[in-house]
């Protein structure tokens, strides 16, 4: 099998699994218990929190562990409501978890979409124009899971800070929070919270060779949020439930490894991606590469071919032992057209003919060479079939 869907899921690193195993077996104790064995587990759990906080430049108390990025996003959007005039701004290419969380709040808060250009980059002028005194939350993903397009989070945070300063001068008390889903950026981009200028940030262990259903929400000190899950009051009262010690320790180990490998791995997979892109461009003259080719993740290649049925191509490639995606896994599972590709202005024909190839640590140049003739055969055959319909 040639696996090229790392943007959807990464395998657990063997070193991560080794770090987790004791807490799934001998050290199974509830970290909230008072006897010494549990106290020792609590110490290990908190040590993992310290390690992650150190990597992103946060205080340990600002890290809230969750059951994945989706829960983290839901908590971030669960801030106190002061009036029905409040607004949330999100980009038009956000992950479905952000779109759903924002839509859920539409009963209490107006939601507006920020425009993006044809490459998936935020229109900064549109952002400025839409930040009025009623905007309470702005959420913009660091890097698109479909396109790989990277947003200038630092510039966006500067615009938001200008709006805050202006509000303060005019005596406007409505707070303005900035959240970013950085799940896809881990292991490829700098995610230091001070350099990014975010108030809230979502990370996901499953995107950096850690366990699934483990994530976190960075919450800048002084920000008040309401819990989504209530009960025993764990995680500073924001996420009740027995702590996932093995998962959190695995997250910390995966995060450390990803950060250590970040620069070398980014260069390696970028070369593989560029080599494959050159092959595809030579093989299919009418191909369209989607996303910003200057500002994109090194491991994602999203392209469209006119008259290609993307989902049918995914199934045909799967029969040849190749795993890729049509759009994102979330959109494909619903059988719907990608809202991301629609937002960047692709025609229905090109949006439906889109494939996403995402590479990872186990992707090799030998795999890419094996992939090329398979793509040649499958895509040409699918295009012939599409042109006959």
* 101-124: burial string, b at 16+ Cβ within 10 Å, e else: bbeebeeebebbbbebeebbbbee
Strands 87-91 and 135-139, by their bridges, are: parallel
Please tell me the distance from the alpha carbon of residue 227 to that of residue 223, in angstroms, as a whole number. Answer: 13
Phi, then psi, of 233 in degrees rounded to 5: 85, 20
Residue with tokens 């229905």: 348
Q: Which of 114, 330, 351, 375 is catalytic?
A: 330
Q: Please spell the DSSP secondary structure of 348-371, one letter per residue.
A: HHHHHTEEEEE--TT--HHHHHHH
Please tell me the distance from the alpha carbon of residue 82 to that of residue 134, in angstroms, as a whole number. Answer: 10
Is 330 annotated in the active site? yes
For 53, the enclosing helix (H) or strand (E) is helix 36-56
Q: Residue 351: name the closest of 341, 360, 343 by CA.
A: 341
CA atoms within 13 A on the CB side of 165: 6
Q: Residue 41: name the closest of 25, 28, 24, 54 by CA.
A: 28
CA-CA-CA-CA torsion for 87, 91, 94, 97, nearest 10 degrees? Answer: 0
Chain centre to alpha carbon of residue 154: 17
* Residue 351 contacts residue 338 (beta carbons within 8 Å): yes
Residues annotated as catalytic are 330
């Amino acid at each position: 099998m040639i696996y090229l869907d790392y943007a959807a899921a990464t395998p657990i690193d063997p070193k991560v699994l080794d770090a987790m195993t004791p807490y799934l077996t001998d050290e199974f104790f509830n970290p909230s218990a008072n006897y010494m064995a549990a106290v020792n587990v609590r110490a290990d759990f908190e040590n993992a929190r310290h390690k992650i906080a150190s990597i992103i430049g946060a205080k340990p108390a600002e890290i809230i562990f969750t059951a994945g990025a989706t829960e983290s996003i839901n908590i971030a959007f669960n801030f106190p409501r002061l009036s029905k005039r409040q607004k949330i701004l999100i980009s038009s290419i956000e992950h479905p978890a952000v779109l759903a969380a924002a839509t859920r709040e539409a009963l209490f808060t107006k939601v507006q979409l920020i425009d993006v250009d044809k490459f998936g980059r935020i229109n900064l002028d549109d952002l400025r124009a839409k930040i009025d005194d009623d905007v309470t939350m702005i959420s913009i993903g660091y890097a698109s899971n479909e396109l790989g397009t990277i947003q200038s989070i630092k510039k966006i945070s500067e615009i938001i800070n200008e709006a805050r300063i202006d509000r303060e001068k005019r005596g406007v008390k409505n707070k303005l929070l900035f959240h970013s889903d950085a799940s896809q950026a881990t292991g490829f981009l700098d995610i230091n919270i001070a350099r990014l200028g975010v108030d809230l940030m979502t990370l996901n262990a499953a995107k950096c060779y850690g366990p699934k259903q483990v994530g976190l929400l960075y919450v800048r000190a002084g920000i008040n949020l309401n819990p989504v899950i209530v009960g025993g009051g764990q995680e500073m009262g924001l996420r009740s439930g027995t702590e996932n010690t093995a998962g959190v320790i695995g997250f910390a180990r995966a995060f450390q490894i990803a950060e250590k490998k970040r620069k070398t791995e980014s260069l390696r997979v970028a070369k593989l991606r560029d080599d494959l892109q050159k092959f595809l461009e030579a093989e299919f003259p009418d191909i369209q590469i989607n996303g910003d080719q200057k500002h994109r993740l090194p491991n994602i290649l999203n392209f469209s071919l006119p008259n290609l049925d993307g989902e049918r191509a995914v199934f045909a490639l799967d029969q040849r032992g190749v795993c890729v995606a049509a759009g994102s896994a979330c959109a494909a599972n619903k059988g719907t057209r990608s809202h991301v590709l629609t937002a960047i202005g692709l025609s229905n024909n090109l949006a439906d003919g889109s494939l996403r190839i995402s590479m990872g640590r186990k992707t090799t140049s030998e795999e890419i060479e094996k992939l090329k003739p398979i793509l040649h055969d499958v895509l040409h055959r699918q295009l012939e079939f599409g042109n006959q319909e």
